[in-house]
């Protein structure tokens, strides 16, 4: 058998180097949502509060927590114009508590309704700690204002890079009106992006992502308050527009009206949460790519070096 030429060996080595570079860059995963990636909506459910879905579309699982175990949160599915369509499971941390008529108020296309799912509270507890951790990081101050031009682009590379592959911004001013567009553009390293908010916020326009960012890599984080109380209010009212990203507000109220969220909504604190007026929450259906350990990257590099030595 004829030995491979120098050109062939060189080409193969170059391909291996490029492949290794792509694999190892992907290791900068940023914040991780862990098992909460199973959900489109996770509601804290503290106290006898209600997650109300009034028409619209939920694609992905819905989880209702009950941290105190003393009271049971409920899911109210009502229909003012059209029934709520659910494509996923309905899971409760304690017993099942659903109000609404199947077939007329809501229709579950796929999945089950089940109670006593301890994983719901486990996932919520993880997210609560994640919110506090990210909220405590130093970030680049940024003012979000889509006012006069109707458009604003924020570049991930301008955010302060933490040790976990996150570009962190602290939002100092926020004015995001209807019929405007906020674009978040990724950096070459594929870092995730975190926006920390300290005040109430109303998202009135569309959010688009560029340069390879996914909605699981963009976090709008509201870390204020504690013990599922005294947080700020998050409102999403995009006038029918679409917003990409993950919204996390563990201690405050969440109200979504006439909007499409291509991502996830987590939190709700000790208050009712409303998803109303034909809203859609659509969880990304992306299977995460396994991230290699640094040792594996080193082994690949040594293997390539060995090829050259052998040649």
Give the residue from 53, 90, 97 showing the smallest Cα distance to 71: 97
- What pLDDT, on a 0 to 100 scale, did the predictor assign at position 299? 46
What is the reported pLDDT for 220? Answer: 98
Question: So what's the pLDDT on residue 80?
Answer: 66
Contact partners, residue 176, CB within 8 Å, separation at least 6 = 144, 145, 146, 182, 201, 202, 203, 204, 205
Give the angle subtended at the CA of 67 by the CAs of 63 and 71, to the nearest 5°.
Answer: 95
What's the pLDDT at 298? 45
Highest mean pLDDT among 97-101, 114-118, 156-160 belongs to 156-160
Give mean pLDDT, residues 69-76.
Answer: 58
pLDDT at res. 81: 66
Token representation of residue 3:
């030995």
Cα–Cα distance for residue pair 63/25, rounded to 1 Å: 33
Encoded tokens for 38: 């199973």
| pLDDT of 68 over the 90 cut | no
The pLDDT value given to residue 3: 55
pLDDT confidence bin for 311, thresholds 50/70/90: very low
Confidence of residue 52 (pLDDT cuts 50, 70, 90): confident
48-57, 196-205, 210-219: the lowest-pLDDT one: 48-57
Q: Is 186 helix (H, G, I), strand (E, B) or coil?
A: coil
Query: Does residue 271 carry a pLDDT above 80?
Result: yes
Question: Lowest-confidence range among 10-24, 134-148, 187-201, 263-277?
Answer: 10-24
Give the SS3 label for residue 300.
Answer: helix
Specify the residue for token string 């052998």. 310
Burial state string for 199-231 with b = 16 or more CB within 10 A and e = fewer than 16: eebbbbbbbbbeeebbbbbbbbbbbbbeebeeb
**pLDDT tens digits, residue range 275-297?**
988 889 999 974 433 444 444 44
Q: CA distances (Å), 53 to each of 28, 35, 118, 283, 303, in order?
A: 36, 23, 23, 16, 55
Residue 75 reports pLDDT greater than 90: no
- pLDDT for the residue 224: 93
d(CA 191, CA 159): 10
Residue 215 near residue 264, CB atoms below 8 Å: yes
Whole-angstrom distance, CA of residue 212 vs CA of residue 179: 24
pTM, 2 dp? 0.82
pLDDT-based confidence at 2, cuts 50/70/90?
Answer: low
Alpha carbon 166 to chain centroid, angstroms: 14
175 pLDDT tier (thresholds 50, 70, 90): very high
43 strand-pairing partners = 64, 267
């Amino acid at each position: 058998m004829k030995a491979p030429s120098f050109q062939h060996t060189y080409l193969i080595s170059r391909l291996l180097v490029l492949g290794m570079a792509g694999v190892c860059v992907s290791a900068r995963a940023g914040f991780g949502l862990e098992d909460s990636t199973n959900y489109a909506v996770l509601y804290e459910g503290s106290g006898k509060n209600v997650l109300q879905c009034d028409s619209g579309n939920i694609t992905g699982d819905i989880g209702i927590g009950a941290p105190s175990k003393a009271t049971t949160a409920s899911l109210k599915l009502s229909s003012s114009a059209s029934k709520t369509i659910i494509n996923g499971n309905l899971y409760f941390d304690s017993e099942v508590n659903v109000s609404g008529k199947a077939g007329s108020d809501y229709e579950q296309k796929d999945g089950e309704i089940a109670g006593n799912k301890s994983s719901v509270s486990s996932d919520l507890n993880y997210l609560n700690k994640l919110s506090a951790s990210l909220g405590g990081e130093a970030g680049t101050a940024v003012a979000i204002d889509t006012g006069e031009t109707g458009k604003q682009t924020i570049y991930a590379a301008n955010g302060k890079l933490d040790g976990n592959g996150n570009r962190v911004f602290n939002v100092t001013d926020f004015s995001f009106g209807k019929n405007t567009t906020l674009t978040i553009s990724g950096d070459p390293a594929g870092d995730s992006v975190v926006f920390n908010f300290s005040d109430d916020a109303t998202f009135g326009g569309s959010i688009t992502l560029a340069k390879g960012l996914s909605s699981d890599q963009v976090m709008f984080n509201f870390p204020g308050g504690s013990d599922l109380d005294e947080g700020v209010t998050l409102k999403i009212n995009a006038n029918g527009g679409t917003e990409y990203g993950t919204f996390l507000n563990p201690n405050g109220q969440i109200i979504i009206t006439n909007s499409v969220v291509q991502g996830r909504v987590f939190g709700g604190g000790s208050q009712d949460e409303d998803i109303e007026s034909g809203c859609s929450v659509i969880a990304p259906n992306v299977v995460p790519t396994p991230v290699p350990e640094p040792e594996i990257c080193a082994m690949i590099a040594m293997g390539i070096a060995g090829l050259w030595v052998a040649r």
